[in-house]
A and B are shown apart, each in its own frame.
Chain A
Amino acid sequence: MRILLIDNNDSFTRNLEHLLVRAVRQACADVRVDVLGHSSMPRKFDSWDMIVISPGPGAPRDYAGYGAVMDSGLPVLGVCLGMQIINVHFGGSVDRLADCVHGKTDTIRYNDRTMSVARYHSLYCSTVGKGLRVAAANDAGVPMIVAHESRPVMGMQFHPESFLTEHGEYFIHDALQRIVRS
Chain B
Amino acid sequence: MMPCNESFVLEPGRIPDLEAWLVRNGADAFLSSPGFAGETRCLCGLEPLDELVVREDTAREQLKGFAFSGPGPCLGFLSYDYGMLLRGIGTQKQSGFPLGHLRKYALLVEHDCVSGAVSVSGRDSEQVRRTARILSEPGPQRHPGFFPDLGQPVASMDRPSYEHGVRGTLERIRQGWTYQLNLSTRLGWACDCAAHDPAELFLALHASHGAPFYAHFSSGQYRILSTSPELFVRVRNGRVLSRPIKGTLAVPGERVYSVADVDPELVRALTESEKECAELSMIVDLMRNDISANCEYGSVRVENHRSVFVVDNLLQMHADVRGTLCAGRDCLDLFLDAFPGGSVTGCPKASSMRIIDELEPHARGMFCGSLVIIEDERTMDSSIAIRTAVADTKGGTLDYWAGSGIVIDSCPAREYRETMAKAAKFFGAAAKRGSA
A residues with a Cβ closer than 8 A to B are 9-15, 17-18, 21-22, 25, 55-59, 81, 96, 100-104, 118, 120-123, 159, 162-164
Contact = CB atoms under 8 A, between A and B. Distances in A.
A14 B176 contact: no
Contacts of B298: 18, 21-22
Given A11-B348, A103-B278, A121-B176, 4 more contacts: A11-B351, A12-B348, A120-B179, A163-B284
Contact of B348 (A9, A59, A118, A121): A9
A101 B176 CA distance: 11
A12 B297 contact: no
B182 to A, nearest CB: 14
Interface in B110-127: none
Interface residues of B, number: 35
Contact of B282 (A58, A102, A121, A122): A102
Interface in B182-212: none
Contact of A14 (B277, B281, B290): B290
A123 B174 CA distance: 8
Contacts of B290: 14
Contact of B288 (A21, A22, A57, A163): A163
A55 to B, nearest CB: 8
24 contacts: A9-B351, A12-B286, A15-B285, A18-B298, A25-B297, A57-B177, A57-B351, A58-B175, A59-B176, A96-B174, A100-B174, A102-B180, A102-B407, A103-B179, A103-B279, A103-B282, A104-B281, A118-B281, A120-B179, A122-B179, A159-B285, A162-B281, A163-B281, A164-B285
Given A9-B350, A22-B298, A104-B274, A14 B292 contact: yes
Contacts, number: 98
Contacts of A56: 348
B285 A10 contact: no
Given A120-B179, A164-B281, A18 B297 contact: yes
B293 interface: yes
Contacts of A55: 348
Nearest to B286: A12
Contacts of B280: 103
Interface in B264-306: 274, 277-282, 284-286, 288-290, 292-293, 297-298, 300, 302
A125 to B, nearest CB: 13
B288 A58 contact: no
Contacts of B178: 57
B285 A12 contact: yes
Contact of B176 (A22, A58, A104): A58
The 9 closest A-B pairs by CB, nearest first: A14-B292, A57-B351, A103-B278, A103-B282, A11-B348, A102-B179, A122-B176, A103-B281, A21-B297
B347 interface: yes
A101 to B, nearest CB: 8
Contacts of B180: 102-103
B349 interface: yes
Given A103-B281, A104-B274, A120-B282, A57 B176 contact: yes
B408 interface: yes
A70 B214 CA distance: 53
A57 B351 CA distance: 7
B292 A17 contact: yes
A100 B175 CA distance: 10
A57 B174 contact: no
Contacts of B282: 102-103, 120
A100 B302 contact: no
A10 B292 contact: no
Taking each of A18, A56, A59, which has the highest tally of chain B beta carbons within 10 Å of its own beta carbon? Answer: A18
Interface string B344-363: 00011111000000000000
B173 interface: yes
